[in-house]
Chains A and B, each alone.
Chain A
Amino acid sequence: MNVACRINGKERSFEANPSESVQQVLSRLGYITVRNSDDGEGFCGSDTILVDDVPQYASLLRPFQIEGKQITTAESLVNGRHLSVVQQAMVDAGVVQSGYNAPAAALLLTSLLEEHAHPSTEQISDALSGLFNRATGYKQFFQAVRIAEQRLANPDYTEEIAPEFRDDLRQVGKVRQKIDGKKLVAGWKSFVEDMVEPGTSVLRMLRSPHAHAYISRIDTSQAEQLPGVLAVITHKNCPDVYYGTAGQGFPEPSPYDRRMFNKKVRHVGDRVAAVVAESDEIAAEALNRIEVDYEVLQPIFSIDQAMQPDSPLVHNGLVEYVSGAPEDLDGYNESADPRDGKVVYQFPIHGDIRHNIAAAASGSIGDVQTGFAAADTVIERTYETSQVQCTPLETHISYAKFDGDRLILHASTQVPWHLRRIVATALGISENMIQVIKERVGGGYGSKQDILLEDVTAYAASITGTPVLYRFSRAEEFTANSTRLPMKIGVKLGCDKTGKLTAVSMDVKANTGPYGSHCLTVPMNACSKSLPLLMCEHMQFQVTSYYSNIPPTGAYQGYGAPKGSFALMTAMGELAAQMNMDLVKLLEINRVRDDSLLEILKCLGEGREGTAVRVKSCGLGPALQQGAHKISWDTTEHSDIPHEKIGKGVAIIQQGSGLPGLDHSCAEVKMLSDGSFMLHSGGADLGTGLDTVSVKFAAEVLQVDMERVSILSGDTDNTPFDTGAYASSGTFFSGGASKKAAEQLKQKILQAASGFLDEPVEHLHIEYPGLVKDSYGNEISYREIAQRTQSGTGSGQLTGYASFTTEDASFPYGAHFCQVAVNERTGEIRVQKYIALQDCGTPVNPELALGQIYGGVLKTIGHSLSEQMVLDQQGTCLTTTMRTYGVPMISEMPDTFEAVLIPTDDPYGPFGSKSVSEISCNGAAPAISIAIHDAVGVWMRDWPFTPEKLLRALGKI
């Protein structure tokens, strides 16, 4: 059909299929800001357009509905290369982070301000009510609107965006625009989908309808005969190589327990066959033509089921060890079923697949029996956490093509180098034959630390010779994406009459699902990021990770810490209640502080030997003090609403700043011929502002404005190695490498200037804005140094290169306080106030740090109260849409929502900085659980804390 309408003020006439969505049409016409996040659910708002000036979801419109209409997309907002007032205000406020639907947000707010010059808080909330924002938690949108509102009247208006830190520094700790903020909010080409060229083939996956089955027969002949089908890949013709999806340091602690396709399927949604075709429609038709017979097996879904002696085995293949194989391995393998394939451990992690155990670990300090014997009060509780989804707005996507014989992978990934290694392994080629280009990442939250589709996309491109695009549908995100591991955590605490802990014990049982990615490290992290919060002479932990047939698990922002924190901090709340002691006082007595020696970390390495660590900076004291004051901790609140009770809760939390001894980052800074700089960083900015951190560090060291430093990052051909963005490593490691490289370049600049000024280096110093001075007042600019060094007689281009590794650890800390209203009659729970106080050392990007705290907290309020992957008895996920899954939107934001940065000066972190993003996920569950108890006297020990569970706990049903 032909459609005529006005788009952004211009008459357009185009052909469209009546059944395709307006989002698809506009995207095809080049309006790339109209993005797809929900496959037409009408929820996320990435597809927002204005139809006759009214915001609507383009995915819920069909072409004939815009006939004759005036269509406005976010492309209309920019003027040449200049952002609109609203767009600029969003960047200034720090609300643009992963940025996938930032253009849509700008369009909504522009529409709001055209209708209401001075919108109320309620009107702003209402305008954004149809927009999903996982990264920054909505709070800063209100500030962006206020700034825009003022600037529309007074273009020169400025205000304090966020508190600033470190008066001795020019860039670090100051509010600066996120360097890719403009590009993202403008909607310019940024993401993998924007790089796809015409003629690209598509890949679609046939997924298992069974949770546990052998593929007894598969016939792809009818699909292969369909015109336009280029290849069909199954377990019969895929590479016979075992690998894992976890993008972790090599050798990985996770087992290699899958091929690209397996004869055995281990969860509903597991790979069965991939079709590569010239169009999506052909691929879909081809999938229908594949015939598969299954030998269905009994599935298991819970830890308890996996632990049963006669439980079905999820993996019953051959076990191999790259190193450290046990002597009785042959006997162990006698009962293996070849249809199950293999499980290859890089080194022993106490796995026992014949009992569904993927990995196990234990450790202790002191003697807990002695500690419990000395206790006046002992409590023992079990807590459970459920499987939750990352739900990035940009679903997983991979675009593979060949340049000659080299594979080019455009990726939305947190781990470009691990991705390259794993794809090279899977395809059996060497790493030099692959270039990974990390594009902007439209949300990852841990799930893009796993290699979930790049292996098969790359293989498809290699066997067909065509560029191949594979993008997860939203439903695939729920069935095939990695998720937070469900856990069952036993906690036993003993303390004396004064409240001093005498013994702490944690027993972590994790459900790793069908494969073992992160199976050891996530549950160990539940211990290593919670136990060191408490100072106790006697501690022990036990970790066991079980295979099952639930959808896959893996990394998720916070890793194991949100679960460990939930269990340990809620147990502290229960202990305080049992002792009739104030919880803040109990935490204050037992908490970690400056100079504490964390002995327990001797037993908690990430797949390697750990070491005891001394804490060099800890902001928990002021965090607890300020938080208690802000939430009026000692005051009991009452509600005027019938049946509604108010309660307060608190939790102390921690994380790490990368993995000392395991993580590794490199960077290179080059001086350009005009004295500006090009920074090549291996760091993988996944939207959090790592590139901005790296540029800030380089600019700070070199004493120039940030505009004089450009960055290229996350490109395996053109930037140096980096282990990737996970384990809260970005600022500490990747940023640390950039700082170190800039420092090396600074020395080279001084040496060059020494020759030009004829003064020894010791008499020289650099000064803003980019010059070298001697003690007599003589000076030489960077421009001149660059020109002289790059002339025919000079030393050549000045560069600084650094490889950053360390054994030193820096821990961010935090105290989260909340106030909830609980309706005893209906079970409804509302978070009224949430105060997150976080010590991230020197906050490098204060406004972005605040946004990450808001985002992490709101995300985990969702995990605590509403989000749930519900499986039926066959293991099929019933919650494969945003509405059914229950992500929080702006309407779920607490009435009072405040993030507070508690500065400390860490001696190891670059410019005293520590990590900030992941830790913000660790406080919501325990703080809310404790607040619910404070309100109505019942303990909620398994998340999500739904109204129904609460009513049952209250004995109402």
Chain B
Amino acid sequence: MIEEYRRFATLKELLTAVKESESEFLLLSGGTEIHRQAGSSVRAENSAVCLSLEGLGLDTIEKKGNSVTIGAMVTLQQLIDHTDVPEFMKEAALFAASRTLRNMATLGGNIAAFRDDSYLLPTLIAAKARIVTAELDDRGAIDTEDMPLREYVDNIDAFRMSVVTKIVLNKPERYVYAKRYSRTRQGVPDIIVAFGALCSEGRLSDVRTAAAGLGIGIQRLKSVDKLFELEPQISNEKLEEAVRREVHTAGSPFASAEYQQYLAAVTIADMASACRKHLEGGQLQ
């Protein structure tokens, strides 16, 4: 049950409240994941205090040079509507197929909820996005940490007392593609697959692959990424085999583990093929 909510004038006040919180608390951005009664991993009934991120200036999108910085309170619909947001991020935001939901759900909320079926995280991993978090240090000063998103994903438990404040997309040269398989656009996903790479100097490099919706959290397929470094011209068959070996799937009531593995394999292979085709054509999309 939410017994109390609190708003703050500054980020520091919020971080102070986080640090000093003695009872369980919830950081509230859009609230769609927190308040959703069904299917949510975070149940509002479990927490007594809601700490709101609203009004802290975290709802801006700024472009400087090749870098786009997106505040945690930017809604998924604002991502779609903003001209400076890369196309792949807009497509990921559209994985939330309900516009009404997109009007409410936020970038920061979707990341922090860290759901297995996250709309955005696989794409952000493939894009090699950076994440900025904030917490209070021992002296009471704001300690911001600007790190690759993969670090955040790999060490999520270490950031329980941190607040996600922004995401930075600073690699516009990357080809990023993601696909969400589900029976209906708003249905639960059978799997979400994301692929990102640099396409230059005649080959794919700096590949990042991720899969989600598999019942066991978001996965980076590190050995698949490594394989591209070792064998840039790897065949589709070999790539599919590597993905099958790497991806861990639990299966779900709606999709068997075997099916999820198959989709992960063929989708990453197809994305790599598509990337190569663009490369041959001399331009990226």
Interface residues of A (CB under 8 A from B): 1, 18-19, 21, 39-43, 45, 48, 54-57, 59-62, 64-65, 108, 126-127, 129-131, 474-475, 642, 825-826, 828, 862, 865-866, 868, 870, 872, 878-884, 886-889, 891-892, 944, 946-948, 951, 956-957
Residues of B within 8 A of A126 (CB): 99
Take A19-B3, A40-B36, A866-B183 as given contacts and tell me if A129 and B270 are in contact as well, using a CB distance cutoff of 8 Å: no
CA distance A879 to B38 in the complex (A): 10
Residues of B within 8 A of A889 (CB): 97-98, 184-186
Distance in Å: Cβ of B81 to nearest Cβ of chain A: 11
Residues of B within 8 A of A474 (CB): 38
Supplied contacts A55-B100, A865-B183, A884-B39, 20 more A-B pairs, CB within 8 Å: A40-B38, A41-B36, A42-B36, A55-B99, A56-B103, A57-B32, A60-B31, A62-B31, A130-B101, A825-B266, A828-B181, A866-B183, A870-B254, A887-B184, A889-B98, A891-B185, A892-B184, A944-B183, A951-B262, A956-B262
Contact assessment for A40 and B270 in the assembled complex, using a CB-CB cutoff below 8 Å: no
Check if B52 is an interface residue, CB within 8 A of chain A: yes
Listed residue (B1, B50, B99, B258) with the most chain A CB atoms within 10 angstroms of its CB? B99
CA distance A59 to B1 in the complex (A): 15
Contact assessment for B1 and A19 in the assembled complex, using a CB-CB cutoff below 8 Å: yes
Distance in Å: Cβ of A407 to nearest Cβ of chain B: 33
Check if B2 is an interface residue, CB within 8 A of chain A: yes
Contact assessment for B100 and A48 in the assembled complex, using a CB-CB cutoff below 8 Å: yes
Contact assessment for A19 and B2 in the assembled complex, using a CB-CB cutoff below 8 Å: yes
A-B contact pairs, 9 of them (CB 8 A): A18-B50, A42-B100, A56-B104, A475-B38, A825-B266, A872-B253, A944-B183, A946-B254, A951-B259
Distance in Å: Cβ of A389 to nearest Cβ of chain B: 14
Distance in Å: Cβ of B26 to nearest Cβ of chain A: 11
CA distance A882 to B38 in the complex (A): 10
Tell me whether chain A's interface is mostly helix, strand or loop, or mixed: loop
Residue of B nearest to A45 (CB): B100
Contact assessment for A947 and B190 in the assembled complex, using a CB-CB cutoff below 8 Å: yes
Residues of A within 8 A of B38 (CB): 39-41, 474-475, 880-881, 883-884
B188 interface neighbour in A64, A883, A951, Cβ under 8 Å: A883
Residues of A within 8 A of B219 (CB): none
Contact assessment for B103 and A54 in the assembled complex, using a CB-CB cutoff below 8 Å: yes
Take A881-B39, A947-B181 as given contacts and tell me if A57 and B100 are in contact as well, using a CB distance cutoff of 8 Å: yes
A-B pairs, 4 with minimum CB distance: A130-B100, A130-B98, A866-B183, A40-B37
A884 interface neighbour in B99, B100, B187, Cβ under 8 Å: B187
CA distance A60 to B1 in the complex (A): 14
Distance in Å: Cβ of B219 to nearest Cβ of chain A: 19
A886 interface neighbour in B3, B32, B183, Cβ under 8 Å: B183
Interface residues of B (CB under 8 A from A): 1-5, 7, 28, 31-32, 35-39, 44-45, 50, 52, 54, 97-101, 103-104, 181, 183-188, 190, 253-256, 258-259, 262-263, 266-267, 270
Distance in Å: Cβ of A868 to nearest Cβ of chain B: 7
Residues of B within 8 A of A130 (CB): 98-101
Contact assessment for B254 and A891 in the assembled complex, using a CB-CB cutoff below 8 Å: no
CA distance A946 to B262 in the complex (A): 15
CA distance A878 to B38 in the complex (A): 11
Distance in Å: Cβ of B183 to nearest Cβ of chain A: 4
Residues of B within 8 A of A127 (CB): 99
Contact assessment for B253 and A891 in the assembled complex, using a CB-CB cutoff below 8 Å: no
Residues of B within 8 A of A64 (CB): 5, 7, 50, 52
Residues of A within 8 A of B97 (CB): 129, 889, 891
Listed residue (B50, B52, B103, B186) with the most chain A CB atoms within 10 angstroms of its CB? B186
CA distance A130 to B94 in the complex (A): 12
Contact assessment for B104 and A43 in the assembled complex, using a CB-CB cutoff below 8 Å: no
Take A19-B1, A40-B35, A951-B262 as given contacts and tell me if A62 and B185 are in contact as well, using a CB distance cutoff of 8 Å: no
Contact assessment for A879 and B259 in the assembled complex, using a CB-CB cutoff below 8 Å: no
Residues of B within 8 A of A55 (CB): 99-100, 103
Take A18-B3, A19-B3, A826-B267 as given contacts and tell me if A129 and B99 are in contact as well, using a CB distance cutoff of 8 Å: yes
CA distance A761 to B44 in the complex (A): 75
CA distance A131 to B186 in the complex (A): 11
CA distance A472 to B203 in the complex (A): 58
Distance in Å: Cβ of A46 to nearest Cβ of chain B: 11
Listed residue (B52, B97, B187, B263) with the most chain A CB atoms within 10 angstroms of its CB? B187
Take A42-B36, A60-B31, A883-B39 as given contacts and tell me if A19 and B44 are in contact as well, using a CB distance cutoff of 8 Å: yes
Residues of A within 8 A of B32 (CB): 42, 57, 60
Residue of B nearest to A474 (CB): B38
Residues of B within 8 A of A892 (CB): 184-185
CA distance A883 to B187 in the complex (A): 5
Residue of A nearest to B49 (CB): A18
CA distance A790 to B28 in the complex (A): 69
Distance in Å: Cβ of B36 to nearest Cβ of chain A: 6
B266 interface neighbour in A42, A43, A826, A887, Cβ under 8 Å: A826
Contact assessment for B35 and A61 in the assembled complex, using a CB-CB cutoff below 8 Å: yes
Distance in Å: Cβ of A335 to nearest Cβ of chain B: 37
A60 interface neighbour in B35, B183, B258, Cβ under 8 Å: B35
Listed residue (A108, A825, A887) with the most chain B CB atoms within 10 angstroms of its CB? A825
Residue of B nearest to A123 (CB): B99
Residue of B nearest to A22 (CB): B35
B35 interface neighbour in A62, A131, A882, A886, Cβ under 8 Å: A62
Contact assessment for A61 and B31 in the assembled complex, using a CB-CB cutoff below 8 Å: yes
Residue of A nearest to B6 (CB): A64
Take A18-B5, A42-B32 as given contacts and tell me if A891 and B184 are in contact as well, using a CB distance cutoff of 8 Å: yes
Contact assessment for B103 and A825 in the assembled complex, using a CB-CB cutoff below 8 Å: no
CA distance A489 to B256 in the complex (A): 26
Residue of B nearest to A59 (CB): B35
Contact assessment for A60 and B104 in the assembled complex, using a CB-CB cutoff below 8 Å: yes
A41 interface neighbour in B39, B254, B256, Cβ under 8 Å: B39
A65 interface neighbour in B31, B103, B262, Cβ under 8 Å: B31
Listed residue (B39, B45, B184) with the most chain A CB atoms within 10 angstroms of its CB? B184
Residue of A nearest to B260 (CB): A948
Contact assessment for A948 and B253 in the assembled complex, using a CB-CB cutoff below 8 Å: no
Residue of B nearest to A946 (CB): B183
Residue of A nearest to B267 (CB): A826
CA distance A48 to B1 in the complex (A): 23
Residues of A within 8 A of B98 (CB): 42-43, 45, 129-130, 889
Listed residue (A131, A872, A886) with the most chain B CB atoms within 10 angstroms of its CB? A886
Contact assessment for A891 and B186 in the assembled complex, using a CB-CB cutoff below 8 Å: yes
Residues of B within 8 A of A57 (CB): 32, 100-101, 104
Distance in Å: Cβ of B94 to nearest Cβ of chain A: 9
Contact assessment for B5 and A62 in the assembled complex, using a CB-CB cutoff below 8 Å: yes
Residues of A within 8 A of B7 (CB): 64
CA distance A825 to B181 in the complex (A): 13
Distance in Å: Cβ of A644 to nearest Cβ of chain B: 12
Take A881-B38, A883-B186, A892-B184 as given contacts and tell me if A948 and B100 are in contact as well, using a CB distance cutoff of 8 Å: no
Residues of B within 8 A of A48 (CB): 100
Contact assessment for A18 and B266 in the assembled complex, using a CB-CB cutoff below 8 Å: no
Distance in Å: Cβ of A252 to nearest Cβ of chain B: 35
Distance in Å: Cβ of A479 to nearest Cβ of chain B: 13
Residues of B within 8 A of A42 (CB): 32, 35-36, 98, 100-101, 104
Residue of A nearest to B75 (CB): A54
CA distance A946 to B190 in the complex (A): 11
CA distance A817 to B266 in the complex (A): 32
Distance in Å: Cβ of B107 to nearest Cβ of chain A: 16
Take A56-B100, A881-B38 as given contacts and tell me if A886 and B31 are in contact as well, using a CB distance cutoff of 8 Å: no
B50 interface neighbour in A59, A62, A870, Cβ under 8 Å: A62
CA distance A65 to B30 in the complex (A): 9
Residues of B within 8 A of A948 (CB): 190, 255-256, 259
CA distance A374 to B181 in the complex (A): 49
Residues of A within 8 A of B183 (CB): 865-866, 886, 944, 946-947
Contact assessment for B100 and A129 in the assembled complex, using a CB-CB cutoff below 8 Å: yes
Contact assessment for A866 and B184 in the assembled complex, using a CB-CB cutoff below 8 Å: yes
Residues of B within 8 A of A828 (CB): 181
CA distance A39 to B39 in the complex (A): 12
